[in-house]
Structure 1
C-alpha cells in the first residue's frame, strides 16, 4: 500500500502547503466519496462547497480558489490542479501485470522476426514474418502482429490487439484492448452488370508516430494506397473509427464514438468531441475544435470551433438554437 504525508505530497508537486495533518494518505478519491486517508482535488470553484462536508484530509487545490483547510487538514495549492492530479496519480499507480517469463512458450514467433532487448510477449501471441519489435516492446496475451510490421521501443499492446501487415508504429505508444490497426478500408463500387458490389483493394498501410495512445475497440484502417497516418502524441479514445487515407497531425484528440471518413486531414492540435463525425475529404485545420455530436460537411479553419449537424461556427450555431427556442415559445 502506498502512503504519503501531506509534506511529501507537497514536495512531489512543488506546491504551497496550507495547514497540516497527521493523517497519512493512502488513496485518492472524489471529494464527496473520500475517506480520512484519501486525498482529493478542488480544481474548480464549484467543488469548493463540498470541502466542509468531505472526510478527506488533504486536497490539491488551484491557487485561484480562496478556502481554508480547517483543523488537522491540509491543502496543497498549485497553479494547475489537473496537471498536479496527473502527476500524483502516477505516484499511486499500481504496478503493471507481471510476466512469469519474458516470452511465453505458447507465443508463435516467425524465425525472421527481430526481437529487441527486454521485449515481453504474452501467451498465444503471434509475431509474423520480418516483424521488428524494438527494445522494451510489450505484447500482452493474444496480440497478433502480422508480416513486415515495425514497432518502436517501449510500445505496449494490450490483449486482443491486431496489427496488420506492413504497419509502422513509433516508440512509446499504448494500444488498449482489441485495437485494430491496418484492416482494409471501407471501399466498394457497383459492378458493371449491377449484380452487386466490387471490393476495392487497399494496398497501403498505417503509419503511427511516437507517444500515440489508442483506446479499446478503436479501428485505424489502412490506406487504399500510400498511408493512413496518425501523428506524434495523438490521443484516441475508445470506439473511434479512422478511415482509410486519413491523416492526423500532431497531438490531436478524438473522444469516444467519433469518426473520420476516408481521406480526412486534421492539422496539429485538433480536438474532436464524442460522437462527432467528419465527412470524407474534409480538412480540419490546426487548433480547431469540433463539438460533440457534430457532423462536419465542410472544411474547418484553423482555431475555429464548430457545432451542430451540419456543423457550423459555434457562435452562429448558438444563435440559431436561441432563435429556435424563441419560436417554440
Structure 2
C-alpha cells in the first residue's frame, strides 16, 4: 500500500503547509468519509463546515480560504485545490490491469495489419485488414478495429470498443468500455411510394485528434460523406451521441446524455452540459456554454451561455423563469 508523509505531499504540490501531522497518508477521500489516514480536499467555503468533524488528518485547500488545521492535522494551501486533487489522485492511482502476454493467442490479427512497437492486444480482439497501430497502443480484451483504420501512439481502447473501417485515430486517446466509433450515421428518407424508408448510405469516416477521451457507451457516427471530426483534447462523457458530419473543435467538453445531431459544428472550448440536445446544422462558436438539459435550436455566439428549451441567452432565460414563478404564485 502506498503511503506518504504530509511533507512529501506538500513538496509534490508546492503548496504552503499549515500545521503538522505525524500520520502516514494512505490515500485521498471525501471529507465526510475520510479516516485518519486520509487526505481530503476543500475547494470552496461551503465545505469548510465539514472539516471540524472530518477524521481526515490532512486537507488540500484553496489559498483564499481561512481554516484552522487542528491538533495533529495539517493543511496544504494551493491556488487550485481541484487541480491539486488531480495530482494526488494520480499519485495513488492503482496500476492498470496487466497483460500476461503482449498479444494474446486468441486475438485475430490480419496478416496485412501493422503493429507498432510495444503494443498490447488482449484476448478475443480483432484487428482487420490494413489496420495500422502506432507504438504502445493497448487494446483490452474484446476490442474490434476494422479494416484500414489507423490508430496513433499510446492510444488505449477498453473492452467492448468497436472502431469501424477507415477511421483515423490520433495518439494518447482513451476510449472507455463499449465506445462505438464509425457506425453508420442515422440517415433515412421516405420511399417514393410512401410505404417505407430508404436508407441513405454513409460512406465517410471518423477522424479523432490527439489526447481525446471518450466515456463508456458513447457513439461517434461516421459521416455520410467526408468526415465526422473530434478535435484535439476533447473530453466526452458516458452515453453521449455525436452524429454524422458533426465537427468538434479543440478541447470541447460534452457531459453525459448530451447529443449532437447531424452536421453540428462546435468551435474550440465549447462546453455542453448534461442531457443537452443540439439541433442539426447548428453552429456553436468558440468558448460558448450550453446549460444542462437545454435544447439548442439556433446558432450560439462565441463566449455566450445559453439555457432552457428552446435555449436562449442565459440572463434572458433566467428572467423568464423568475417571471413564470411570480405568475404561478398569484
- Same fold per TM (> 0.5)? yes
CA distance in 1, matches of 2:126, 2:278: 34
**1:144-155 to 2 correspondences below 5 Å:** 144-155=144-155
Q: Deviations over 1:254-297 (max 9, x none)?
A: 00000000000000000000000000000000000000000000
Q: 1:194: Cα distance to partner? A: 1.4
Q: 1:195: Cα distance to partner? A: 1.9
C-alpha RMSD of matched pairs (Å): 0.4
Structure 2 unaligned spans of 5+: none
**1:47-86 to 2 correspondences below 5 Å:** 47-86=47-86
TM-score normalised to structure 1 length: 1.00
Partner of residue 300, structure 2: 300
2:127 aligned with 1:127: yes
Q: 1:239: Cα distance to partner? A: 0.2
Q: Deviations over 1:221-262 (max 9, x none)?
A: 000000000000000000000000000000000000000000
Partner of residue 90, structure 1: 90
**1:273-288 to 2 correspondences below 5 Å:** 273-288=273-288
CA distance in 1, matches of 2:239, 2:262: 17
Partner of residue 291, structure 2: 291
CA distance in 1, matches of 2:23, 2:251: 40
SS in 2 for 1:32: helix
2:315 aligned with 1:318: no
CA distance in 2, matches of 1:285, 1:2: 45
**1:257-272 to 2 correspondences below 5 Å:** 257-272=257-272
2:238 aligned with 1:238: yes
Q: 1:26: Cα distance to partner? A: 0.2
2:224 aligned with 1:224: yes
The structure 1 segments of at least 4 consecutive aligned residues displaced by more than 2 Å after TM superposition are: none
CA distance in 1, matches of 2:32, 2:241: 36
Partner of residue 200, structure 2: 200
Q: 1:68: Cα distance to partner? A: 1.0
CA distance in 2, matches of 1:22, 1:87: 22
SS in 2 for 1:61: strand
2:16 aligned with 1:24: no
CA distance in 1, matches of 2:257, 2:6: 40
Q: Deviations over 1:50-106 (max 9, x none)?
A: 111110001001001011101110001000000000011000000000000000000
Partner of residue 328, structure 1: 328
Structure 1 unaligned spans of 5+: none
Partner of residue 162, structure 1: 162
